[in-house]
Amino acid sequence: MLKFSRNLLADVRPRAMTRDIDWGIPVPLDGWEDNPSKRLYVWFDAVIGYLSASVEWARRSGDADAWRRWWNDPDARGYYFMGKDNITFHSQIWPAELLAYDGRGSRGGDPGEFGTLNLPTEVVSSEFLTMEGRKFSTSRSVVIYVREFLERYDPDALRYFIAVAGPETQDTDFTWSEFVRRNNDELVSTWGNLVNRTLAMIAKNLGALPEAGTLADDDRALLATSREAFGTVGGLIERHRQKQAIGEAIRIAAEANVYLSQQAPWQLKSTDPDRMATVLHVAAQVVDDCNTMLAPFLPHSAARVHAALGRTGPVSPGPRIDEVDDLDGGPAYPIIAGDYSEQVAWSSRPLAAGTPIAAPEPVFAKLDTSVVDEELARLEAAAAS
């Protein structure tokens, strides 16, 4: 992203901020506002929406100046996420507008009524994602419509694929065969299997989360690995290495599966029930830890695992769409809103022994390989229509 941006600036030149079209935002200058065929270039105007949406949010919150914490506080950090074709608008055009407004451009000046506005802290760009070797195109029906996808598959299955196989550092290709493989071999067989086998054994043999007895070296090692992973996974997320972050969380889940296989608690019920209880306590704690680390990526399934472990409250609150009245008398319209104040702590939180545990439902559904042929046929039929 930096190299791309520097190449842009090495060849910087005057660029028109208007277009000869009859739709869009009129030019807000005397003599131009009523011009029927001159409008602002959409990407010059659109980026201002980051600021104006913040101001609108503050007005709706009851504190009209709340937006200033994000835009005027020099310690506030702003991250912009996009594909690489949008870099120029966020590392060149938007910063140029902000620098000019702040009076920090080559022509000087003083900040306007909004005060000195923060530049982007970081522009986080991905590469391109193709589909079955072709460029996504709605006009050619090379596309995945989210609503149609959700009619057939779990939302976290798609979120998982994008997180582990998305175009974070290079162009990648979405294929239905790889989607099915990732879902079945990784999401179901590793994470889903750990959750289901742990909770099923607790429900069948104990009915509630057990106390931990005397910990063995293997127990302490796995618990320590799980606790330390919060720092690793959190650090990777902070550096926008999403693929590595979710991979590390899944690695811990895989280690917990190995631990269960080695400890074989199902063989201990009659010979050493206290040891069985300890092993299942350790496994449940690691399930809870992994669920917290995976919640940013898999929020829907995280809520189900959270509840299955007897936890209450939200684990990873998501956005919602509200229909609102225009603050200045215009027509009503939808906005994206949400309350993110109740996120669970980013750390290992001890489970409460004695919490009832019911037989679990599968967290994820295994997909039949016939899905591949069905989706490819659907894709070809859409392209031909």
Alpha helices in 239-272 (DSSP H): 242-263
Query: What is the length of the chain?
Result: 385
What count of other Cβ atoms lies within 10 Å of the Cβ of residue 119? 13
| Backbone CA torsion sign across 82, 87, 93, 96 | positive
Is the predicted pLDDT of residue 383 greater than 90, yes or no? Answer: no
Q: Residue 140's pLDDT is what? A: 81
Return the residue matching tokens 């949010």. Answer: 57
Q: How confident is the model at residue 255 (pLDDT cuts 50, 70, 90)?
A: very high
Q: Residue 113's pLDDT is what? A: 93
Q: Residue 104's pLDDT is what? A: 93
Q: Residue 106's pLDDT is what? A: 87
Give the DSSP H or E segment for 334: strand 333-337
Q: Residue 67's pLDDT is what? A: 97
Domains of the chain, with CATH numbers?
2-126 (no CATH), 175-370 (1.10.730.10)
Q: Residue 136's pLDDT is what? A: 85
Q: Residue 338's pLDDT is what? A: 86
Mean of the per-residue pLDDT values of the chain = 93
Is the predicted pLDDT of residue 319 greater than 90, yes or no? Answer: no
| AA identity, residue 115 | G
* C-alpha–C-alpha distance, residues 360 and 202, integer Å: 10
In the chain, what percentage of residues exceed pLDDT 90? 75
DSSP-assigned letter for residue 173: E
Give the lowest-confidence range in 8-12, 101-105, 176-180. 8-12
Contact 142, 176 (CB under 8 A): no
Beta bridge partners of 324: 333
Q: Residue 146's pLDDT is what? A: 87
Q: Residue 205's pLDDT is what? A: 95
In sequence order, what are the residues at sequence separation of 6 or more whose Cβ sits closer than 8 angstroms to the Cβ of residue 41?
16, 17, 18, 19
Is the predicted pLDDT of residue 294 greater than 90, yes or no? Answer: yes
* C-alpha–C-alpha distance, residues 6 and 12, integer Å: 10
Q: Residue 20's pLDDT is what? A: 94
State in Å, rounded, how far the first CA of the chain is from the last one: 38
| AA identity, residue 86 | N
Give the DSSP H or E segment for 302: helix 299-308
Is the predicted pLDDT of residue 139 greater than 90, yes or no? Answer: no
Q: How confident is the model at residue 230 (pLDDT cuts 50, 70, 90)?
A: very high
What count of other Cβ atoms lies within 10 Å of the Cβ of residue 236? 18
Helix (H, G, I), strand (E, B) or coil at 267: helix
Return the residue matching tokens 């582990």. Answer: 164
Q: Residue 191's pLDDT is what? A: 97
308: nearest Cα among 355, 261, 344:
355
Is the predicted pLDDT of residue 25 greater than 80, yes or no? Answer: yes
Q: What is the pLDDT of residues 52-84, one digit of tens each?
A: 999 999 999 999 999 999 999 999 999 999 988
Q: Residue 316's pLDDT is what? A: 86
pLDDT average, residue stretch 334-352: 89
Q: How confident is the model at residue 237 (pLDDT cuts 50, 70, 90)?
A: very high
Contact 48, 89 (CB under 8 A): no
